Chains A and B, each alone.
Chain A
């Protein structure tokens, strides 16, 4: 069974750093892109970027380029999303998703809620 399990909720202060994770299982982690999606409170889905764990090829949405870093450790089947200096506006739910059948996002993690206080 394909699963993406994300790390737990985080409460941080502005200016702090953070790295959240997404662990894949039940499939070949190195041969499927993993994407990250932001959902701010009460808002829609926003594409942040995507990584190919096989060679760490990474693409960012222009809106998030330079704001976050996407990485992966294929030895433990885990993708990451990190911030070096959080802002209150980073408060959101963050989802990872596998790019699968015909480039669809066919499996999703349960989401990680990040709350940043100023």
Chain B
């Protein structure tokens, strides 16, 4: 069972806005940054969001992150078919990285 809790699945239609939630305990969330990783089918994970809301170079601004207290969210606007993937939130707990259980995004 993951320390960070995500919904197992979300879905949306092209063009829609979807959000994926991630909730954690105070020890790993309140004082620490949240990261989001995208894993397209059959590929390695890719960094999507770091330090709660920053996008690495090359990540479209359709992806945005936020954090408040012990919860974080990833929002994807203008949903596209190529966004269909597994999404993982993560945080550091000391030197231990903890991942959420992952959320499968289906584009209908």
Query: Which residues does A use to contact B, with CB under 8 Å?
Result: 35, 37, 44-47, 50, 59, 61-62, 95, 97, 101-111
Are B97 and A104 in contact (CB-based, < 8 A)? no
Docked pose: A4 CA to B47 CA in angstroms: 14
Residues of A within 8 A of B101 (CB): 44
In contact, B45 and A104 (Cβ under 8 angstroms): no
Chain B residues packing against A (C-beta within 8 Å): 2, 33, 35, 37, 39, 44-47, 50-51, 54, 56, 86, 88, 90, 92, 95-102
- CB of B99 within 8 A of CB of A102, answer no
Partner of A101, one of B37, B50, B92, B96: B50
A107 CB contacts on chain B under 8 angstroms: 47
Q: Inside 8 A of B51's CB, which chain A residues have their CB?
A: 102, 104
B35 closest partner in A (C-beta): A104
- When A45-B88, A108-B44 are in contact, do A102 and B50 touch as well, CB less than 8 Å? yes
**Chain B interface, DSSP helix/strand/loop, else mixed:** strand
Q: Report whether B33 and A47 are in contact in the complex, using a CB–CB cutoff of 8 Å.
A: no
Tell me which of B45, B47, B54, B96 contacts A45 (CB under 8 A). Answer: B45
Contact (A106, B45) CB under 8 Å given A35-B97, A44-B2, A47-B96: no
Q: Shortest CB–CB separation between residue B72 and chain A, in angstroms?
A: 14
In the complex the two chains form, what is the Cα distance from A37 to B39 in whole Å?
13
Determine how close the nearest CB of chain A comes to the CB of B31; give it in whole angstroms: 13
Q: Would you call A103 and B37 a contact (CB within 8 A)?
A: no
Contact B99 A105 (CB under 8 A): no
Taken together as a complex, chains A and B put the C-alpha atoms of A59 and B37 apart, in Å, by: 22
Measured between C-beta atoms, what is the minimum distance from B24 to chain A in Å?
A: 14
